[in-house]
Amino acid sequence: MYTVLPQNEKYLSDAFGSQLRDGACVLDAEREVGYVRLEFGTRRGPDSAYWDGWFSVTRTRDGHPLSGKIMTGPMVQLIGGAA
């Protein structure tokens, strides 16, 4: 199981300060509903010291991260958490 590095927690908040987790349902910058997809185990994920806060928003909760739109926390609004 991967964990978010403490220095990366600051990136995992939406426009209103709500916590974002992998699979969370959000309203994205284009006002479309999608799901947060974090890439754990790569340099592009919150478990990496190289991560700069960008993540993917996919149409489905199990969509591959590379198939989504690129967003940051301030660009989305949390609608519902991950199960």
pLDDT digits (tens, 9 = 90+) for 31-54: 999 999 999 999 999 999 999 999
Tokens 């799901």, residue?
35
Tell me what pLDDT residue 19 has.
Answer: 95
Q: How far is CA 55 from the centre of its chain?
A: 5
Average pLDDT, the chain: 93
Tell me what pLDDT residue 15 has.
Answer: 94
In the predicted model, is pLDDT for residue 83 greater than 70?
Answer: no
Both structure tokens of 27: 């309203």
Is 0.85 surpassed by the pTM of this model? Answer: yes
Given a contact cutoff of 8 angstroms between Cβ atoms, the answer to whether 21 and 81 are in contact is: yes
Given a contact cutoff of 8 angstroms between Cβ atoms, the answer to whether 5 and 46 are in contact is: yes
Question: Which whole number is the average pLDDT over 9-35?
Answer: 96
